Homo-oligomer: A and B are copies of this chain.
Amino acid sequence: MEKVRVVISGFGNVGRGVVASLKRNTDMELAGILSRNPARVKKEVSDVPVMDVNDSDAWLAALKPDVVILCGGSKNDLPEWGPKMAKLVNTVDSFDNHSQVPEYFKAINEAANSSGHVSVISTGWDPGIFSLERVLANAFIPGARAYGFYGLGEKGGLSMGHSDALRTIKGVKDARQYTHAIPEAIDEIRDGKNPAFQPGDMHTRECFVVAEDGADKDEIVKAIKEMPGYFAPYKTNVTFVSQQELDTKYAGFPHDGLAIAAGTTGDNNSARVEYRCVWGSNPEATANVLVAHARAVARLAKEGKKGAMTILDIPPSYFSTLDREELLKHWI
């Protein structure tokens, strides 16, 4: 069987995760990497072609991708590059700016439909697996609200987006933000109370900040706690640490989450479902889910499908390497 030719566009933590994931998915192969700065990537990668993402005629001809996994950021990269790429190739991305998903879907759908490609947007573990679990929970327990919690373990979960937000504050040299779930909030849901939570009822935020020399620490704390959306709605704790402490005690990208819903069935019998995931590396977990979606995209494209899709639009067997016979025999 011919392997699915996967190309990575954008080489950060998720892109590195995709490289690693493809080594464990032997029905696929890494055909090359695209970057705005190929020279930088070439320092790290020597066994596959690294090409300039802007030179699409060249990389389309040389790499012949079945699917391109877009590993750029949701804030600036994907809104620009998502639709551009969907005009050229089949794509998968992890666009995670929840409030802008409808608009992004529309732009990608137009591009993919006009060019006859398949583009799966907004997948990973959240959005992605958690989106799926929330929708299933709501379908199987009608009336149950579905909630997402993050950082249930002792150390909490590292939020890349919130860490980036901290680094934009004047006087902040470096920073990492850990999200903590509020256990009492989870208990309320498990008790079947189906509560209408505000964001601040579910999570607290813990910030480890390296201040620049001479920076006004009180001003930094104030700027963090008042930052709308990111920190203002939450109980937020700020601790100043040295760069060395940040690099050693708060290394890595651990994250974890819980999608949960509870309600009743029939004659008021309790019903509860919980999807829990614990990842040693958040970007690698996202990469693994992206790669499984790349497999699905290659199949859907072969069937002549086109347009934008989410995880909700794909039959789950498309993610699997196992054929129907094997699935029916051992997995149902």
Count residues on chain A whose CB falls below 8 Å from chain B CBs. 68
Q: Which residues of B contact A133 (CB under 8 A)?
A: 275
Q: In chain B, what residue has the closest Cβ to A19?
A: B266
**A327 → chain B, closest Cβ, in Å?**
6
| Stretch binding the partner chain, chosen from A76-84, A162-170, A315-323 | A315-323
- The dominant DSSP class at the A interface is helix
| Any B CB within 8 A of the CB of A272 | yes
B135–A129 touching, CB < 8 Å: no
A281–B266 touching, CB < 8 Å: yes
A265–B20 touching, CB < 8 Å: yes
A316–B320 touching, CB < 8 Å: no
9 A-B residue pairings within 8 Å (CB atoms): A20-B265, A135-B320, A140-B288, A140-B289, A146-B331, A264-B280, A271-B279, A275-B275, A312-B320
| Any B CB within 8 A of the CB of A325 | yes
**A44 → chain B, closest Cβ, in Å?**
14
| Stretch binding the partner chain, chosen from A3-11, A97-105, A181-189 | A97-105
A134–B331 touching, CB < 8 Å: yes
| Any B CB within 8 A of the CB of A287 | yes
